[in-house]
């Protein structure tokens, strides 16, 4: 029963967190299959790989030094942040390299980084809740770890890995060679450093006091990231406002459809679409408008890299086919 409970509280909250992050991506959502693959990578590749490598480092340091403290510090503050952020970041790198046309903005980098990290957090939470919670402290320990891992620090891994996604996205969207070279290692370094800071203060500095200080620092970081995400959402809205004017002026879409496309709360699935039976066509129509606006923006800034001109033509064709069916 306790193991099933650990799986429930490990995975279900992370699914809900992932749904919330996907909801924040208002104007150009990522393919659900790709997001699911990123989450699965976090569970299997990042979670499984980190467990093996972190354990190996801890054993190795203990064999060399004979010190449990040295082994704990080496693993918690040095090895784990590097290993875990590297394994999580690899998923974002795969999307960056193999699914480049889906990597359209800094917000996309945050989404892929966060979703991967939630998969990692899910399986890590199962381990902590069951092993460190139930096996060491019974049901009281179980519920204590649920509260700590899900409520207090549930967003820590998405927060860390979001920086790797930001670095890759900045490199993706920049034409400056120096920026491209610096952005990726810079983003990864921030992910590792914030992770190491959290681990050190939460587990090794001053006992409970260290945990509280680390928690306060975490929440300042979460607040910063939330403000940054809101700023990026507004930025993406401005891209749609600018790039879709041409579609209105040409008569490809109506003014009402334009207003819906740039609205934060109405983009995507609408009540009128549900009641009229045009759920899929309406949802896809506004997704196409978001993709079209981003590709036009990329064409302006990056030129025809990745075949932007052809992709724009394809999106305009699909937009025209869906426009008459879509509800505003």
- For 69-111, write each residue's pLDDT tens digit: 899 899 999 999 999 999 999 999 999 999 988 888 999 999 9
**Cβ(53)–Cβ(84) below 8 Å:** no
Asked if pLDDT for residue 207 goes beyond 80, the answer is no
Q: Where are the domains of the chain?
A: 2-236, 244-323
Task: List the one residue out of 187, 159, 37, 50 whose CA is nearest residue 98.
Answer: 37
| Residue 292: band (very low, low, confident or very high) from pLDDT cuts 50, 70, 90 | very high
- Cα distances (Å, whole numbers) of residue 77 to 18, 58, 192, 261: 27, 11, 10, 45
Percentages helix, strand, coil for the chain (3-state, rounded to 5) are 85, 0, 15
> Considering the chain, what is the average pLDDT of its residues?
90
Tokens describing residue 74: 């080496």
CA–CA gap between residue 323 and residue 257 (Å, rounded) = 9
Q: 3-state secondary structure string, 127-154? A: HHHHHHHHHHHHHHHHHHHHHHHHHHCC
CA–CA gap between residue 166 and residue 191 (Å, rounded) = 10
Tokens describing residue 218: 């975490």
**Cβ(94)–Cβ(113) below 8 Å:** no
Q: What's the distance, Cα to Cα, between the start and end of the chain in Å?
A: 49
CA–CA gap between residue 206 and residue 276 (Å, rounded) = 61
pTM assigned to the model: 0.91
Query: Reduced to 3 states, what is the DSSP secondary structure of residue 268?
Result: coil
CA–CA gap between residue 309 and residue 89 (Å, rounded) = 30
Q: Which residue has 């260290």 as its token pair?
A: 210
| Residue 214: band (very low, low, confident or very high) from pLDDT cuts 50, 70, 90 | confident
| Residue 325: band (very low, low, confident or very high) from pLDDT cuts 50, 70, 90 | confident
Q: What pLDDT is stored for residue 275 in this prediction?
A: 46
């Amino acid at each position: 029963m306790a193991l099933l409970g650990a799986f429930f509280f490990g995975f279900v909250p992370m699914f809900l967190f992932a749904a919330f992050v996907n909801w924040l991506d208002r104007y150009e959502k990522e393919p659900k299959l790709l997001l699911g693959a990123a989450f699965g990578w976090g569970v299997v590749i990042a979670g499984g790989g980190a467990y093996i490598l972190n354990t190996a480092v801890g054993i190795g340091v203990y064999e060399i030094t004979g010190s449990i403290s040295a082994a704990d510090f080496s693993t918690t503050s040095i090895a784990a942040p590097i290993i875990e952020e590297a394994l999580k970041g690899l998923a974002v790198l795969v999307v960056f390299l193999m699914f480049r046309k889906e990597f359209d903005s800094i917000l996309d980098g945050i989404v892929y980084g966060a979703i991967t990290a939630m998969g990692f957090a899910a399986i890590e939470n199962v381990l902590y809740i069951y092993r460190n919670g139930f096996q060491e402290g019974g049901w009281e320990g179980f519920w204590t770890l649920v509260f700590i891992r899900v409520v207090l620090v549930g967003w820590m891994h998405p927060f860390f890995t979001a920086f790797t996604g930001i670095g890759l996205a900045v490199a993706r969207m920049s034409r400056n060679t120096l920026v491209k070279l610096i952005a990726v290692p810079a983003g990864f370094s921030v992910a590792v450093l914030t992770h190491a800071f959290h681990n050190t203060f939460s587990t090794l500095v001053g006992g409970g006091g260290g945990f509280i200080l680390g928690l306060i620092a975490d929440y300042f970081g979460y607040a910063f990231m939330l403000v940054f995400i809101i700023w990026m959402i507004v930025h993406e809205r401005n891209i749609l406002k600018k790039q879709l004017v041409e579609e209105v002026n040409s008569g490809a879409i109506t003014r009402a459809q334009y207003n819906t496309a740039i609205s934060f709360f109405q983009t995507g699935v609408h009540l009128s679409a549900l009641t009229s039976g045009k759920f899929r066509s309406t949802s896809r129509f506004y997704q196409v408008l978001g993709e079209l606006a981003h590709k036009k923006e990329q064409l302006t800034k990056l030129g025809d890299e990745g075949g932007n001109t052809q992709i724009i033509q394809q999106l305009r064709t699909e937009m025209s086919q869906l426009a008459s069916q879509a509800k505003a």
